[in-house]
Structure 1
């Protein structure tokens, strides 16, 4: 069973991840609960930046979240070449790696995101580095 975890970007640009002490309310702020019996601190985050953990890691072991940008780099290709890039999205009951040339998922070749993607690398996310998806910039 995969871990259910979320992240969101705070107004100062840092990221906060859910844990037993952090809960998101999904309307523009999250509550940090420092301990039982103590008051909660409410810290605003950037709306639209909540992303769920997919349960998949890239080839370097980095956790992949909804909204991340991945690059596919097969080991047998020229390292100077720019590889295909994908945005991680939720689509039809699962996470997919949506090809940058087909962000609306019209092509049936958009791939589900699973553990067989051993040659993908996390290179950014749509909130901090949207320019990495060249087809949309």
Structure 2
């Protein structure tokens, strides 16, 4: 049977509700604390990273690279409701198949933080891609080819 779990980020206290505290779906839905802007409810994806750590919506994961000197790509775990395939996926993933599935089956992924406590990890990855990648994309769009 699949495991359905949640965690709750408290925006006012800036932490997750008590580690090890069992949160049932009934108590979460009926709890008024979860139904306002002071908290963020995040669902367990049903997957574990390369170290056996549970992967939740809102986690930041790094792609395990093939070579030690490769810079890993960093992604946020999101629930993708767009399109015809609602599922947990990697925000910014551009592959043809589900990013979590693709990376889990190839080199693997590792939880390196979450969007509440480690948002800087995502900024570093965006800065690593700019400005050259974006400039090249704009150049291709305007001029029909690589610069």
Deviations 1:38-96 (A, max 9, x none): xxxxxx8833x21100000000010000011000022x3124x4310111111132111
The 4+ residue runs of structure 1 with deviation greater than 4 A are: none
Deviation at 1:3?
Answer: 1.0
Which protein has the bigger strand share? Answer: 1
Match of residue 94 from structure 1: 87
CA-based RMSD of the aligned residues comes to 3.2
SS of equivalent residue, structure 2 residue 105: coil
Alignment coverage as a number of residue pairs: 115
Instruction: Give the TM-score taking structure 1 as reference length.
Output: 0.66
Mapped partners of 1:129, 1:5: distance in 2: 22
Instruction: Give the TM-score taking structure 2 as reference length.
Output: 0.62
Deviation at 1:5?
Answer: 1.1
SS of equivalent residue, structure 2 residue 120: helix
Deviation at 1:18?
Answer: 4.7
Match of residue 133 from structure 2: none
Gaps of 5+ in 1: 31-43
* Structure index of larger Rg: 2
